Structure 1
């Protein structure tokens, strides 16, 4: 917690100065908030093509128009809006197929996610776990082949980065001793939805670390895989949390980063500023920050392996053969 408060009050992430000419970048959840601001930055950094992956096509089109109108530089970027609904495996599979038709792909920023206190199932799993963990990793696996292919062709490491959160350190994770983690998380009687977002970010961190471990970066596999935190930002993510949203929005006024400031961390991760040193790392304030406490412990590593095994089963059910990309 001391690191959190220091970061919020005394650190302002800087936007990397880099020319992204010729590059193609995908940002999920790009019609609002952090994703929108990151997409705008990429356009202003001369990216040739920025793809806004959004659940709502119309809202995505509005966001793309706003970015085009934001500056002369942004107006020169080829902006596209592609449908992507992380609550639907069919939508994710269709998105993955479309990604693999691209001639070039340099970076994917997996930003889309949800925060809800309402228990409901999506694709057979509790919605927060489906969207923030299973579907997000599924999307990552589906874009990996194109990132590898493009990185080799352009002799430049590709980047697959996931937006996590430092709230993983706050997860009570009472389900951690369960024989079947995902099945237990699907139980409405046992689910602590007040802790669910924190747990989803903890599980995402575990999953990304294992994904990076299974894909060691090399000249034959030149893709940097990381997970980042933008810090506590003013965001619409709290809109579905009832009374909690009022409390969180009040806290955001006091100590939250402006969304544009938080988005700089997404951009920094996407350009791979630290090179291969950031592969498999948790990035906080634009630099690697080794996970603390539970995550690197022996028990944490056992849970990471267990989760990955369970995830593989879910992913194969969603898109048969997808785990062969690992």
Structure 2
């Protein structure tokens, strides 16, 4: 696990921009949650290096159009960014988005699943606690529904598309919260009495890592042609904490002000992950490098791998209910 010294050192690094015209020109990318923060800056970079198409996937179309205007003004490249509706709080929205992407896009070279939410109050979306629905269930539903198109892209263009899930090192601090729910995960996550909302965001990021790491073992690059990696953007000065109570938000903003990366610098980690090599498949990527050594031993141990399978099994049961047959098409 990353030490305090290593964390501070990483935060102060000037990270490279590894998504270039040579690696991205002529390709199509989808970036979720790209009307603000890391997603916006990642989309801006991809437009700047003349990707063929960059889909700004957002819940609020007005905010998406504002983001598109900002991107076009900053890059002076028009006709590349497109705003598409995607609401991760709605399974139907996810399915509609995936259907449109599959039918209308001739290729998908990269899917950056950046959209997440941090809440401190329990609320339901699609019958599950909202953080679970958005950060976990819909995130993996979108991945599963788009992998077939990405595999088609891999075969047709002889490339390796990237499925990048934006997670967080904060997840590794959620061991206590995880231990309290792991025996009956979905039931306990959905019970206000057993839901510590102060730890819910961090726990959702831990579950993303567990599930994403296991999914990568089920989908080797040799089978799909798709590289799946899990990127940690580090502590960044984003508006992620906007939905939490004032005092908690004040603490987060203060620490981010002192140690946080700018959103543009943080977005470089996303850009690296979406062009990283096959060695990043199933791996934790941080500071523009594969850094599996920073994953705690209790996560990457044999017991941790068993937990990852159990977590994925619970998620997959929900996905199969939401979109029957979606898993059999991929796994």
TM-score normalised according to structure 2 size: 0.94
- Pairing partner for 2:99 from 97, 103, 112: 97
| 1:190 and 2:194 aligned | yes
| Alignment match, 2:126 | 123
Kept in 1, the 8 Å contact 2:44–2:75? The answer is no
Question: Per the alignment, do residues 30 and 174 of structure 1 end up closer, same or farther by CA in structure 2, a change over 3 Å counting?
Answer: closer
**In structure 2, C-alpha distance between the alignment counterparts of 1:5 and 1:122, rounded to whole Å:** 36
How far is 1:240 from its partner?
Answer: 1.1
What SS does the aligned partner of 1:179 have? helix
How far is 1:172 from its partner?
Answer: 3.2
Deviations 1:214-250 (A, max 9, x none): 00111x5210000001110001001111111111111
- 1:1-150 equivalence runs, <5 A: 1-2=3-4, 3-9=6-12, 11-16=13-18, 18-19=20-21, 20-72=24-76, 74-75=77-78, 77-101=79-103, 102-150=105-153
Pairwise CA RMSD of aligned residues?
1.3
| 1:302 and 2:306 aligned | yes
| Alignment match, 1:156 | 159
| Alignment match, 1:245 | 249
| Alignment match, 1:174 | 177
How far is 1:174 from its partner?
Answer: 3.4
Kept in 2, the 8 Å contact 1:163–1:229? The answer is yes
| Alignment match, 2:238 | 235
Task: Give 5+ residue unaligned stretches, structure 1.
Answer: none
Kept in 2, the 8 Å contact 1:54–1:82? The answer is yes
**In structure 1, C-alpha distance between the alignment counterparts of 2:241 and 2:33, rounded to whole Å:** 15
What SS does the aligned partner of 1:271 have? coil
Kept in 2, the 8 Å contact 1:21–1:46? The answer is yes
Task: Give 5+ residue unaligned stretches, structure 2.
Answer: none
Deviations 1:167-186 (A, max 9, x none): 11111343436432111111
| Alignment match, 1:265 | 269
Kept in 2, the 8 Å contact 1:207–1:307? The answer is yes
Deviations 1:54-74 (A, max 9, x none): 0011110111111111123x3
What SS does the aligned partner of 2:120 have? coil
TM-score normalised according to structure 1 size: 0.95
- Pairing partner for 2:288 from 280, 286, 289: 286
How far is 1:46 from its partner?
Answer: 0.9
**In structure 1, C-alpha distance between the alignment counterparts of 2:99 and 2:268, rounded to whole Å:** 29
What SS does the aligned partner of 2:198 have? helix
Q: Segments of 4+ in structure 1 off by > 4 A?
A: none
What SS does the aligned partner of 1:60 have? helix
| 1:226 and 2:229 aligned | yes
**In structure 1, C-alpha distance between the alignment counterparts of 2:179 and 2:325, rounded to whole Å:** 28
What SS does the aligned partner of 1:161 have? strand
